[in-house]
Chains A and B, each alone.
Chain A
Amino acid sequence: MIGFLNIIVIICIIVFALSMLGMVYRVIKGPTLHDRVITLDAFGVTLMGMMSLVSIVLDTTYLLSVIMLIGMIGFIGTVGFAKFLEKGVIIENDRDNNS
């Protein structure tokens, strides 16, 4: 029994998958590192969406924590990269610089 919701969900998954493919292309091709970092961030967000769609398909709530985790990791990763691109280091050690 394929309900209306299921059809929508499957269409969404396909669309998400296509967009992820496009992002993968950009990650591989991306002329600068900045392009790649932004693409990876977007990839993470898309992955969250994908996960939620999957949990609808599987009819479960246990994957919600996975979605949260992806969000956190994506955020931290992007911030880390941004800091790296800006300063060359991620974790600054002030005492190292002073001494």
Chain B
Amino acid sequence: MALIHLAIFLPVIAAILIAIVYRYVKDVHLGWFALIVPAAIAAYLFTLIPTVSNDGPLHYTLNLMPRIGMNFDVYIDGLGLLFAILISGIGTLVVLYSIGYLSKSERLGNFYVYLLIFMTAMLGVVLSDNVLMLYFFWELTSISSFLLIAFWYKKDKSIYGAQKSLLITFFGGFMMLGGFIVLYIITGTLSIREMIANVDLVIDSNLAPLAVVLVLLGAFTKSAQFPFYIWLPDAMEAPTPVSAYLHSATMVKAGLYLVARFTPVFAFSELWVWLILLVGLFTLLWASFNAVKQDDLKGVLAFSTVSQLGLIMSLLGAGGLAVNSGANESIFTVAVVAAVFHIINHATFKGALFMIAGILDHETGTRSIRKLGGLLTIMPITFTMTIITALSMAGLPPFNGFLSKELFLEAMFELSNANFSVLADWSVLFPILAIVGSIFTFVYSIKLIHGVFLGDRTHETPKEPHEAPALMLISPIILSALVVIFGLFPNILSQTIIDPAAMSILATDTQLNTEISHWHGFNNPALWATIAIVVVGLALYLFRHSWMFIYDYHKEQFTLNYLYDQGLIYSQLGSKKATDGVMTGFLRDYMVYIFGFFVVFGIITTFFTGLPIDFDNYSEIGIQDVVLVIIILISLFIIMMTRSRMVSIIMLGAIGYSMALFFAFFRAPDLALTQLAIETVTTTLFLVCFYHLPKKSKHEEAVGFKFTNFMISVGVGAIVILFGLAAYSNRLFESISKYHIENVYELAAGGNMVNVILVDFRGYDTLFETLVFGIAGIGIYALMKAKVKGKDDDNEEHA
């Protein structure tokens, strides 16, 4: 139990306190109480930076469930610390922003409790060393995200979005758990560090591709990669602070964290590297293309988030190549540095952009770009922040987005030059995909600035627009300032945070000494690529009306959302149909299933094991046995063929009495006695039932013939006979009845052996059979006395 464990669980503890405070304190905005928590955690984590960057990772352990290996091991290396600082730092800003954004009339208690639970979950994800704990926190993020998306639960769209995100992320999380289990089977450990240490076992294992695919499914669903990105745009129904925090800065980066964390384990696998690279690049392209057509501010930002996540994912894939192939390692180290740097950059500018979108929504009453316009003079501060963050997103100097995009393009160009076993001929695709994606990124960034702040006033806004209050402006101002600071002085990050993080992704101990500079010289293809992006992007934006029509071809039927909705509908319909088809409600159908399976599996068993039947140890058959069997058979035949229920009952009685005769012939007088008495009683009861049949259903008709039923009954009979014969032919041990015969008088002082067994040797059975009779008697009494209430009687009851 170290201080860090307390730090991880501090938000949950605070959540409990806040739930109590919420009841008693009504005057102060609840956010002020919540603000202390992330601020304290962030301050504590900042103090850890020098230790981690100079002395290497910290490791604390706390035994939780040692028997199954689920220990709360905290492992703080560069990567975990980077994410933890992002979470707590942006968490602080988001809580501050939410104080201005949410009014006191909202259910603030719920909001901050969910948010703090989420914070604990997220800190747990990035700091856990144990995969089971990682999975635990991972699902906790899904659940708290679900709660936050559905914060305004009276809106249908909130519920829809929350359900969708829950289904998709839970699916991925569950797959990821499978991946972890496979890893555990391979390496025999649940600790990520020990998995990295045992990477040889993973390389040799045949199961590794399975683990790769399962873990990647978890990462892709959480980080909204193609084709699982569809939940993120629908998660925009959440309050804007939640969108800013969860769906841009922290939760969606959990998948990136997972990929980065497992790069040392899986990077040897080509499947891992190429999947990440290609999926990331395609997500980048697809989402940036789709972001351009969005009208909703948050819609643009959601697709933008997806595309930026794809960018980081592809960089991580390129970084995986550094471990995979020996091809010019330093180049691919650049890719990892770029990925880490862009994680930070994206968190800053996208958090700020979401907050700006929230401000616009708050101050104008709409988020539709079509209705907004010409707000430059009315909201100057917001405009300044938008310029900074959107241009950073577009990748223009001197902001930090430029630097990471430059590194990204560089890495992609290097990738096209490198020579790899797979896809070598296609490697020229990577820079092209990257550049096209960046062009669209540029277009929607410009659209964001131009559509909202420039141009003419539209006067269509529901509210009269004005500048936001200071409380809402502080957080985006801080983030925008960070964008500028990181853009101008990127190296304050490189030694302290980026290098340790990149080192833990690459699992090396050698210092990287990264230097991020603005100017790489004219020979750098990335520079020309950036210029091309700006030129083409501007041209595309200026002539947007002449090419936007291509989005009209993007019909509803071809989107993944349509596929998801139809899948949901058809899975419901299909399961309903399957259930209705099987669960008919008729007992006869269930009997067919039960006996049908009995026959099928009986035949299968017979087929595989054989039925050893020999007729050696059977006794002689007497004439009276034959006669009785014939009587029983005739009675059975009459039961099946007769039209009258009465005849059936009598014949059933006849069978019962024949059985009593059998008992008599086989020298079982007690059984014969009981059988006679019982048969009389049951026949009488049958007759009572018959007598009370309603007049209408008393009409007599023969039992219908159904071929299936016939086949199944014949099958059941044949199998039971065969099994009986086989069992009788294979007596493995002597009967224990000898003991009873010898001791019935000696030990129990009785002459009637059956009765002695019933009450002495095995008295317990008799006791409980007596109980069964008692229960049956009470049950019949209750049934007869109970007033069966119809619907009409209900009214009387309550009157």
A positions within 8 Å CB-CB of B: 13, 17, 24, 27-28, 47, 50-51, 54-55, 58, 60, 62-63, 65-66, 69-70, 73, 77, 80
**A interface footprint on B649-681 (CB within 8 Å = 1, 0 otherwise):** 010001001001100110101001100110010
Residues of B near A69 (CB, < 8 A) are 673, 676-677
Contact of B667 among A13, A24, A47, A60 (CB under 8 A): A60
Q: A13-B624, A65-B669 are in contact. List 11 more A-B contacts (CB 8 A).
A: A27-B650, A51-B664, A54-B624, A54-B661, A54-B664, A60-B667, A62-B669, A63-B664, A66-B669, A66-B672, A80-B684
Whether the pair B677, A73 counts as a contact (CB closer than 8 A) is: yes
B418 at the interface (CB under 8 A from A): no
Cβ-defined partner of B672 (8 Å) among A24, A27, A50, A63 = A63
A27-B650, A51-B664, A66-B664 as given contacts; A17 in contact with B657, CB under 8 Å = no
Contact count A vs B, C-beta below 8 Å: 41
- Cβ contact within 8 Å between A63 and B647: no
Q: Are B647 and A28 in contact (CB under 8 A)?
A: yes
Q: Is the CB of B647 within 8 A of A77?
A: no
Beta-carbon nearest neighbor of A44 in chain B: B657
Q: How far is the CB of A34 from chain B (nearest CB, A)?
A: 14
* A17 to B684 CA separation, bound complex (whole angstroms): 25
> Which of chain A's residues has its CB closest to B657's CB?
A47
B12 to chain A, nearest CB (A): 69
Nearest CB in chain A: distance from B122 CB, A: 75
Cβ contacts A to B, 24 pairs, < 8 Å: A13-B624, A17-B627, A24-B654, A28-B647, A50-B661, A51-B664, A54-B664, A54-B665, A55-B664, A58-B665, A58-B667, A62-B667, A62-B669, A63-B664, A63-B669, A63-B672, A66-B664, A66-B669, A66-B672, A69-B677, A70-B676, A73-B677, A73-B680, A77-B680
Chain B residue contacts of A62, Cβ below 8 A:
667, 669
Q: In the complex, how many angstroms separate the beta carbon of B648 from the nearest chain A beta carbon?
A: 12
Contacts of B665 in A (CB 8 A): 54, 58
For the complex of A and B, list the 10 residue pairs with the smallest distance between their C-beta atoms, beginning with the closest: A62-B669, A73-B680, A66-B672, A69-B676, A63-B669, A66-B673, A69-B673, A63-B664, A66-B669, A54-B664
Give Cα distance in the complex from A51 to B638, angstroms. 25
Task: Report the bound CA distance from A13 to B654 in whole Å.
Answer: 18
Which residues on the B side are within 8 Å of A66 (C-beta)? 660, 664, 669, 672-673, 676
Least CB separation from B752: chain A residue: A62
Q: How far is the CA of A14 from the CA of B499 in the complex (A)?
A: 107
Q: Which of B665, B667, B676 has the most CB of A within 10 A?
A: B676
Identity of the chain B residue whose Cβ is nearest the Cβ of A70 in the assembled complex: B676
Query: What residues of B have a CB within 8 angstroms of the CB of A27 in the complex?
Result: 650
How far in angstroms is the closest Cβ of chain B from A52? 11
On chain B, the number of residues with a Cβ less than 8 Å from chain A's Cβ atoms is: 19
Q: Taking CB as reference atom, which chain A residue is nearest B660? A: A66
Give complex CA distance A47, B672 in Å: 13
A5–B624 Cα gap in the complex (Å)?
A: 18
- Tell me which residues across on chain B come within 8 A of A24, comparing CB atoms: 654
Residues of B within 8 A of A47 (CB): 657
Q: Give the docked Cα–Cα distance between A65 and B650 (Å).
A: 24
Most buried by A among B657, B664, B667, B676: B664
Question: Of B627, B654, B672, B677, which is in contact with the most chain A CB atoms at under 10 Å from its CB?
Answer: B672
Chain B residues 262 to 285 lying within 8 A of chain A, measured CB to CB, are: none
A81, closest chain B residue (CB): B687
Q: Which residue of A lies closest to B644 (CB)?
A: A28
B residues in contact with A54, CB < 8 Å: 624, 661, 664-665
In whole angstroms, how far apart are the Cα atoms of A69 and B681 in the complex? 13
A16: shortest Cβ distance to chain B, in Å?
Answer: 11
Nearest opposing residue in chain B for A55, CB measure:
B664
Q: Which residues of B contact A60 (CB under 8 A)?
A: 667, 669
Residue in A54, A69, A77, A80 whose Cβ sees the most chain B Cβ within 10 Å: A69
**Do B676 and A65 have beta carbons less than 8 Å apart?**
no
Expressed in whole angstroms, the minimum distance between the Cβ of B658 and any Cβ of chain A is 11
**Closest A residue by C-beta to B683:** A77
The interface centre, meaning the residue of B660, B661, B669 with most chain A CB atoms within 10 A of its CB, is: B669
- Point out the residues of chain A lying under 8 angstroms from B680, CB to CB: 73, 77
Find the A residue at minimum CB distance from B627: A17
Closest CB-CB distance, B665 to chain A, in whole Å? 7
Would you list which residues of chain B between 507 and 546 have a CB under 8 Å from chain A?
A: none
CA distance A44 to B341 in the complex (A): 100
Q: How far is the CB of B275 from chain A (nearest CB, A)?
A: 79
Q: Which residues of A contact B669 (CB under 8 A)?
A: 60, 62-63, 65-66
How many Å lie between the Cα of A69 and that of B660 in the bound state? 12
Measured CA separation A49–B787 after assembly (Å)? 48
Contacts of B684 in A (CB 8 A): 77, 80
Q: Which residues of A contact B673 (CB under 8 A)?
A: 65-66, 69
Residues of chain A lying within 8 A (CB to CB) of residue B677:
69, 73
Residues of B144-183 at the interface with A, using a CB-CB cut-off of 8 Å, are none
Which B residues are in CB contact (< 8 Å) with A58? 665, 667
Residue on B with the closest CB to A27? Answer: B650
Bound complex: CA A24 to CA B627 (Å): 15
Contacts of A63 on B, CB cut-off 8 Å?
Answer: 664, 669, 672
Nearest CB in chain B: distance from A47 CB, A: 7
Closest B residue to A13 using CB positions: B624
A90–B669 Cα gap in the complex (Å)? 30
A contact residues around B667 at 8 Å (CB): 58, 60, 62
Q: Roughly how many angstroms separate A50 CA and B672 CA in the complex, as a whole number?
A: 14
| Residue of chain A at shortest CB distance from B650 | A27
CB-defined contacts of B661 to chain A, threshold 8 Å: 50, 54
**A60 vs B668: C-alpha distance in the bound complex, in angstroms?**
11
B674 to chain A: closest residue by CB: A69
Residues of B within 8 A of A13 (CB): 624
How distant is the Cα of A27 from the Cα of B677 in the complex, in angstroms? 21
Q: Which of the listed residues A55, A66, A77 has the most CB atoms from chain B within 10 Å of its own CB?
A: A66
Complex Cα spacing A27 to B661, Å: 19
CB of A20 to closest CB in B, whole Å: 9
Q: Which residues of B are found within 8 Å of A77, using beta-carbon distances?
A: 680, 684
CA distance A1 to B684 in the complex (A): 44
- Minimum CB–CB distance from A15 to chain B (whole Å) comes to 14
The smallest beta-carbon distance between B89 and chain A, in angstroms, is 85
- Beta-carbon contacts of B187-228 to A below 8 Å, as 1s and 0s? 000000000000000000000000000000000000000000
Q: How far is the CB of B754 from chain A (nearest CB, A)?
A: 10
Tell me the smallest distance from the CB of B11 to a CB of chain A, in Å: 73
Interchain nearest-CB distance for B736 vs A (Å): 23
A58: nearest chain-B partner, CB-CB: B667
Instruction: Give the complex CA separation of A73 and B676 in angstroms.
Output: 8
Q: How far is the CA of A60 from the CA of B667 in the complex (A)?
A: 9
Complex Cα gap A77–B673 (Å): 16
Q: Quick one: CB contact mask for B620-654 with A, threshold 8 Å, 1 for yes?
A: 00001001000000000010000000010010001
Which residues of chain B are near A73, meaning CB under 8 Å? 676-677, 680
- Shortest beta-carbon distance from B625 to chain A in Å: 12
- Nearest CB in chain B: distance from A40 CB, A: 9
Docked pose: A70 CA to B674 CA in angstroms = 11
Bound Cα distance A58, B622 (Å):
12
